[in-house]
Homo-oligomer: A and B are copies of this chain.
Amino acid sequence: MTSMVQLALEEVRTLADRVLTGAGYSGDHARAISEMLYACQLDDCQSHGLFRLFMCRETMQAGKIDGHVLPELQPSQNAVVRVDAKGAMSLLAVETAMPVLIEKARRFGMAAMAVNNCYHFSALWPEVEQLSAAGLAGLSMVPSHAWVAPAGGTRGTLGTNPLAFSWPRRGKSPFTFDFATSAFARGEIELYLRAGKPLPDGVAVDADGKPTNDPQEALSGAMLTFGGYKGSALSIMIELLAGPLIDDLTSKESLRFADGKGGAPYHGQILLAFDPAHLSCGRVEANDSRAERLFADILDQGARLPSQRRFEARKRNLARGYVEIPATLHRDLHALQD
């Protein structure tokens, strides 16, 4: 059992902020990043919470990121808002363009945000949940590093390419999912390696493209997508929509750009927003009830909706005013500040 330490909610942001500004991020960037880490930590999502501060530092140490440059919004009269992160982390860019995306979705019925030239390390659900909080349905996709083989392939070409979606529910937590299109997250394989456990079948191939259950061989070989050829096709779609469609890098180009230096991958991001008021011809209430009957039918048979555990953690942590983080993480983060 991991020993846990309590951290007051406000302390999560302050701690993150101190580490980030200490690492070389400007106040604006540190605040936008801390906000994301806070959202994840509040939901007990340890893998994408304060733990990611190490990656933020590594990214700075790799020497290419700009910790101070401000994102540039490119004005348009159409349904696409484009924001150039100019070689900084993605989060401030997305935050800057988010109100424009929401306004455009309401004006045009649907809209897209194209984020270019950004480092990206974060969960996608806090961003699509900003869209559902505004009454819109939101979708987001990013490439990553070419660690994942296509179906029938033997080497890394695709990223872990996550897909996140959120649907607004009145007076309730939204319907949200955010999953990697790889069978396992890369971090999960690292956990198996540390625990000395064999991987399940269908997760990875070795450097020769042969199926493997050895986590070390998997890390030097390639991961596989979830769901066989269908998951693979979906992952290729994400490469295209969050890469060439928006004039940004594929996972293979992103891996080459990193040049073995570590830190967060560098690429683009696409977010889509759909306005139910437009698309349902104003019959939002009737269609909300229809969606609720769908959710009820899923829950009635003992199945769960995605993200339920996150929402329960959020409620609990907000009520008690603190989160719990592993004692080792707490110690390592404090060591960073000395």
Residues of B within 8 A of A301 (CB): 149-150, 153-155, 157, 209
B-side contacts of A280, CB under 8 Å: 244-247
Q: Which residues 216-255 in A have Cβ within 8 Å of B in the complex? A: 226-231, 233-234, 236-237, 239-241, 243-247, 249-250, 252-253
Closest to A291 in B: B244
Task: Confirm or deny: A329 has a beta carbon within 8 angstroms of a beta carbon on chain B.
Answer: no
Q: Kindly supply a per-residue 1/0 record for chain A positions 76-120, scoring 1 wherever the CB is within 8 Å of any chain B CB and 0 otherwise.
A: 101110100000000000000000000000011111101000000
- Contact across chains for A276 and B245 when beta carbons are under 8 A apart: yes
For chain A, the bracket of interface size reads 35 or more
Q: Which of B82, B279, B290, B302 contacts A253 (CB 8 A)?
A: B290
Please determine whether B228 and A274 come into contact, CB atoms closer than 8 angstroms: no
Most buried by B among A79, A181, A247, A274: A79
Report whether B80 and A152 are in contact in the complex, using a CB–CB cutoff of 8 Å. no
Using known A-B contacts A78-B109, A231-B227, determine if residue A287 contacts B247 with beta carbons closer than 8 Å. Answer: yes
Asked if A175 is at the interface (CB within 8 A of a chain B CB), the reply is yes
Interface residue A303 (Cβ < 8 Å from any Cβ of B):
yes
List chain B residues, Cβ under 8 A from A274: 112, 241, 245
Nearest CB in chain B to that of A290: its residue: B244
Copies held by the complex: 2
Enumerate chain B residues within 8 angstroms of A112, measured Cβ to Cβ. 109-110, 274, 279
Contact residue among B153, B163, B228, B281 (Cβ-Cβ distance under 8 Å from A82):
B281
Please tell me if the beta carbons of A297 and B252 are within 8 angstroms of each other in the complex: yes
Check: A28 CB closer than 8 A to any chain B CB.
Answer: no
Cβ proximity bits A157-183 to B, threshold 8 Å, 1 near / 0 not: 100000101010000000101010100
Query: With A and B bound together, what is the CA distance between A149 and B301 in angstroms?
Result: 9
- Contact sample, A vs B, 5 pairs, CB 8 Å cutoff: A78-B108, A80-B279, A137-B240, A250-B290, A252-B297
Q: Which 4 A-B pairs have the closest CB atoms?
A: A227-B227, A153-B303, A80-B109, A244-B287
